[in-house]
A and B are shown apart, each in its own frame.
Chain A
């Protein structure tokens, strides 16, 4: 019978917290860049300019058709070299966090753009007509009228995607980056208490994501009481 020994956890908390900060940092960066770039992609995809809509469609389909782990590995292998050359950094500078952030951001943009595209399409067509009739340009109409309404409809979906993203950050273990999951793994490995540490990490992910989902559900009720 396996005997649990949780004693290595309290001492490792500061290290685990450092890991959690990295997980949150990646999530936050990817969500922000993902929403901004995803919005641009969605607008390109809905645009009547063919090259733009083809580019956006290609981008979205490409990223949605490859596994996230693979994208992360590509960026882990390629981006550091690229950035080193671009900024003339010493070879071997630790760019794992940066490349993970870029990888996640570009990957998540594809998913966000699909959510945002649906959001834009959920705004009645007459709203755009009304903006045009008042003399607004396409950009003004989008910024002042269409996107604010689209985002209001989309908030729950965007947050849900952020929660999934937070869980997915654990995949950065492929680049040996000590995010929360990676940190837990390292501590468990060091103390020979892998099972306890992974159970603990799982519990922490569960609590955070479950709490966040509950908040999203509340928000959903507030925005769409029905």
Chain B
């Protein structure tokens, strides 16, 4: 589904990504972790072309992301993305947030889009909030709406960029629950997250990044049982003791 081969990116002399390669199979859940500044968010944003990269290739469902001939908007409409800061549109109600891209990008009818949006809103447990505005919801609720908004586009895979990092601790689980459910239904997912409990529960593979490199790329069992690199061992020791 997602093939990343030898991707490098730099800002001037600073290398953000160095020769990163990995793949995500259909139905697979891959968690990307690592210390801050390791390039994990940048990598996931390269997958749908939100961040350009200088060399290497990323193929999503047979389409090359870096190819200038690729219709990026079209590709992005098929790849769902959830952001750290939710990025709901504050001037629109929750239903409008859910419907707008369906109508404007996919060309669905307003009613059809509303219906679909409400169904998904129900699925993330927020049907009662349909007519509110994003500012009236808690962070966890907003993030669940953001997930529903991405799902409304019928994505072929979902990218999560630190979806729980901006949340108060008591709201993290409600978002992780939605993500877990999604994973169990067979959605292809690539998640940048520090939630190792989530990784242990649902990930098929774990990628560990440090200084722009993919240091480990292993099944979750192997990664948690005996990480090979010293950097990953230190990272896990720090994170898991909390």
Interfacial chain B residues near A129, Cβ < 8 Å: 45, 50, 83, 87
Instruction: Please name the residue on chain B nearest to A143 by beta carbon.
Output: B104
Secondary structure class of chain A's binding surface, majority of residues: helix
Query: Chain A interface: which size bin?
Result: 10 to 19
State whether the Cβ of A152 lies closer than 8 Å to any Cβ in chain B: yes
B153, A130: Cβ atoms closer than 8 Å = no
State whether the Cβ of A149 lies closer than 8 Å to any Cβ in chain B: yes
Kindly state the separation between the CA atoms of A145 and B134 in the bound complex, as whole angstroms.
14
Kindly state the separation between the CA atoms of A47 and B48 in the bound complex, as whole angstroms.
21
Interface segment out of the listed B73-81, B121-129, B201-209, B210-218: B73-81
Q: Which of A124, A149, A152 contacts B85 (CB 8 A)?
A: A124
A126, B83: Cβ atoms closer than 8 Å = yes
Using an 8 Å CB-CB cutoff, how does the interface string of A105-137 with B read, 1 for contact, 0 for none?
A: 000000000000000000010110110111111
Interfacial chain B residues near A130, Cβ < 8 Å: 81, 83, 87-89
Kindly state the separation between the CA atoms of A129 and B48 in the bound complex, as whole angstroms.
11
Kindly state the separation between the CA atoms of A126 and B150 in the bound complex, as whole angstroms.
15
Known A127-B89, A144-B100; judge A132-B149 contact (CB<8 A). Answer: no
State whether the Cβ of B105 lies closer than 8 Å to any Cβ in chain A: yes
Kindly state the separation between the CA atoms of A226 and B106 in the bound complex, as whole angstroms.
39
Instruction: Please name the residue on chain B nearest to A140 by beta carbon.
Output: B104
Interfacial chain A residues near B88, Cβ < 8 Å: 130
B101, A135: Cβ atoms closer than 8 Å = yes
State whether the Cβ of B135 lies closer than 8 Å to any Cβ in chain A: no
Kindly state the separation between the CA atoms of A126 and B91 in the bound complex, as whole angstroms.
15
Known A129-B50, A144-B100, A152-B91; judge A136-B85 contact (CB<8 A). Answer: no
Instruction: Please name the residue on chain B nearest to A145 by beta carbon.
Output: B89
State whether the Cβ of A202 lies closer than 8 Å to any Cβ in chain B: no
State whether the Cβ of B90 lies closer than 8 Å to any Cβ in chain A: yes
B101, A134: Cβ atoms closer than 8 Å = yes
Q: Which of B76, B85, B106, B153 contacts A132 (CB 8 A)?
A: B76
CB distance from B133 to the nearest CB of A (A): 12
Residue among B85, B89, B100 facing the most chain A CB atoms (10 A cut-off) = B89
Interfacial chain A residues near B76, Cβ < 8 Å: 132-135
B91, A149: Cβ atoms closer than 8 Å = yes
A134, B85: Cβ atoms closer than 8 Å = no
B91, A148: Cβ atoms closer than 8 Å = yes
Q: Which of A126, A137, A140, A148 contacts B87 (CB 8 A)?
A: A126
Kindly state the separation between the CA atoms of A127 and B86 in the bound complex, as whole angstroms.
9
B104, A144: Cβ atoms closer than 8 Å = yes
CB distance from B101 to the nearest CB of A (A): 4
CB distance from A147 to the nearest CB of B (A): 10
Residue among B50, B87, B90 facing the most chain A CB atoms (10 A cut-off) = B87
Interfacial chain A residues near B81, Cβ < 8 Å: 130, 133
Using an 8 Å CB-CB cutoff, how does the interface string of B212-239 with A read, 1 for contact, 0 for none?
A: 0000000000000000000000000000
In residues 34-54 of chain B, which contact A (Cβ within 8 Å)? 45, 48, 50
Kindly state the separation between the CA atoms of A134 and B102 in the bound complex, as whole angstroms.
9
Kindly state the separation between the CA atoms of A136 and B87 in the bound complex, as whole angstroms.
14
In residues 114-149 of chain B, which contact A (Cβ within 8 Å)? 149
Interfacial chain A residues near B73, Cβ < 8 Å: 132, 135-137
CB distance from A81 to the nearest CB of B (A): 46
Q: Which of A134, A140, A149 contacts B153 (CB 8 A)?
A: A134
Kindly state the separation between the CA atoms of A130 and B84 in the bound complex, as whole angstroms.
11
CB distance from A108 to the nearest CB of B (A): 26
Interfacial chain A residues near B78, Cβ < 8 Å: 135
A136, B48: Cβ atoms closer than 8 Å = no
Interfacial chain A residues near B101, Cβ < 8 Å: 134-136
Chain A contact residues, CB within 8 Å of chain B: 124, 126-127, 129-130, 132-137, 140, 144-145, 148-149, 152
A124-B87, A134-B150 known; 10 new pairs, CB 8 Å cut-off, are: A126-B87, A127-B87, A129-B45, A130-B89, A132-B72, A133-B150, A134-B77, A135-B75, A135-B153, A144-B100
Show 16 A/B contacts (Cβ-Cβ < 8 Å), sorted by A. A126-B87, A127-B87, A129-B45, A129-B87, A130-B88, A132-B76, A133-B76, A133-B79, A133-B80, A135-B75, A135-B76, A135-B78, A145-B89, A145-B91, A149-B89, A149-B90
Q: Which 10 A-B pairs have the closest CB atoms?
A: A135-B77, A130-B87, A134-B101, A133-B81, A135-B105, A126-B87, A135-B76, A135-B73, A148-B91, A137-B73
